[in-house]
Structure formats: C-alpha cells, structure tokens
Amino acid sequence: MSALSTTTTTNRYSSDSGSSISSNLTDDTKTSLAAALDTASFSWVAWFCSLKGNAMLCQVDRSYLEDAFNFAGLEELVPCFAQAMDIILDVQRDSGSTTDSIDRMSEDQRDIIESAAELLYGLVHQRFILSTRGLKRMYDKYKACGFGRCHRVYCRGQPVLPVGQSDVPGKTTVNVYCPRCKDIYFPQVASDGNIDGAFFGTSFPSLFLLRYPNLVPSLPVETFVPRIYGFKVHYSSPLNK
Ligand SMILES: [Zn+2]
C-alpha cells in the first residue's frame, strides 16, 4: 500500500493543538468531540476501510484499538508491531517519532510497515466483530446488503455474511456465507474477494446469527431440476449421480 502518504500517519489530534482547544471546552463538549474524533473520516482506519476491496471491513472503534488487551498475542503474528500500532492509531511521537522514521525509510521498508499495519488491523478486526459493538456495526452493514447477496438462484437474493475458512492469516481469501442455503461462495464483487479471510475469521457468521436470530431465514424450498426439452432427466441418468 504505497499509496499511504506520510501525512496519514500524522497525529491530527496532537497534544499541542488539543490542549489549547480543550481548555476552553466543557466536559460534555469534550465527550462529543472525542466521539466525533472516534469516527473521524480522516483517520487511518477510515482511510483503510474506504480503499477498493476493503468494503466488507467495518471501522473498529478507536477505544477498542486503544485497549492493549485486544491485541494480546498479536505481537507474535505481526512484524514491526509497535510501528504498525502507531500507524493504525495515527500516532506521532516526539523525538525519533514513527512518522520521522517512516520518512527516512526506503519504499520497501515503508511497504513492510504499512503491510504490517494492514495485517494488524485485520486481525484485531476479526476480534472486534465478535464483540457486542462490532456485531452491531456488522449488523448495520448487513441490513444495507453491504456484503452482497447469495449467487444461488433459489436463495432469491438472500444477503450474505463474510467468513474466513481459517482464523490464521495467509491461508485463504474471504468467502461469503449464505444463511439460507448454508453454503459459502466467492464474493460477488471480485475486488472484495482479495482480502484475507482471517480478517473475519471462522466464527463470525454463526455468532452473528446467534446474536440476531430473527435474521435467520427459512430454508429454500426450491431446487433446480435438470431437464432436456422440458422432460425431467431419468433418475438412472449419469446426470443424477
Ligand atoms: Zn444461498
């Protein structure tokens, strides 16, 4: 993702500019401002989720990203973990800052750090969408048909859910699960299918439907019947094996 400019790693909420503003704000206003910043459209998270091919990802809450507990065990899976964290959180440190370091890096080194940030975000995304807050965020996308519809004709346009065939990154790309025919498919939009399946994990559709049981559709009643010139193919035909 060489398209990531160094400006996206700059902390736009730096303590210098924030302190003079915040001193004039009431607590309620500060809370509202914090909430607004949490979903600010110019954050790295918002930028990353807006990229082509990442449409099925939701924006992980900043408060979730700031809780170190949610990253437990990921240090072993993600190279350059600390620098990747700083990119995700738009953190700019003082002397020897990550941003400065990135500026001095070669393009290859920057690509490594940026890829690490994307991997780290994907793995914490897998955890976030299983939380109450994350399930609600995915619910909103599902209701808007944000993950596409089932390819199967007799599922009548049933909305689908993203699923991975592994919780470990690098195994398979994301698939979509149809809760009507209970099978998995490649995403309808080809570019959506390039993302790692581990960014959603194997548990998401099942937990989602347990959380929202009213969304579980009835089983399809129709099945395709092979015919030749309008006549059903005999049961002994090789077509029916
Ligand atoms: Zn289906």
Ligand 1 center to 13 CA (angstroms): 45
The distance of Cα 135 from the centroid of its chain, to the nearest Å, equals 12
Three-class secondary structure of residue 90 per DSSP: coil
User: Distance from the CA of 3 to the center of ligand 1, in angstroms?
Assistant: 37
Task: Return residues with CB closer than 5 A to ligand 1 (ion).
Answer: 150, 152, 155, 178, 180-181
- In the 3-class helix/strand/coil scheme, how is 158-174 assigned residue by residue? CECEEECCCCCCCCCEC
Ligand 1 centroid distance, CA of 87 (Å): 38
How far, in Å, from the CA of 153 to the mean position of ligand 1?
8
pLDDT of residue 66: 95
CA of residue 180 to ligand 1 center, whole Å: 5
CA of 136 to the centre of ligand 1 (A): 23
Local mean pLDDT, 10-residue blocks, the chain (241 residues) = 34 32 45 48 88 96 96 94 94 58 75 95 98 98 97 96 97 97 95 95 98 96 91 86 76
Distance (Å) from CA 48 to ligand 1 centroid = 30
* pLDDT the model gives residue 103: 67
Q: What is the pTM of this model?
A: 0.78
Cα 178 to middle of ligand 1, angstroms = 5
Residue pair 149/187 in contact (Cβ under 8 Å)? The answer is: no
pLDDT at 4: 34
The pLDDT value recorded for residue 105 is 74
Task: Give the H/E segment covering residue 186.
Answer: none
Question: How deeply is 178 buried, as exposed, middle or buried, from its count of CB atoms within 10 A (0-12, 13-18, 19+)?
Answer: buried
pLDDT at 92: 74
Cα-Cα-Cα-Cα dihedral of 30, 34, 40, 45, to 10°? 160
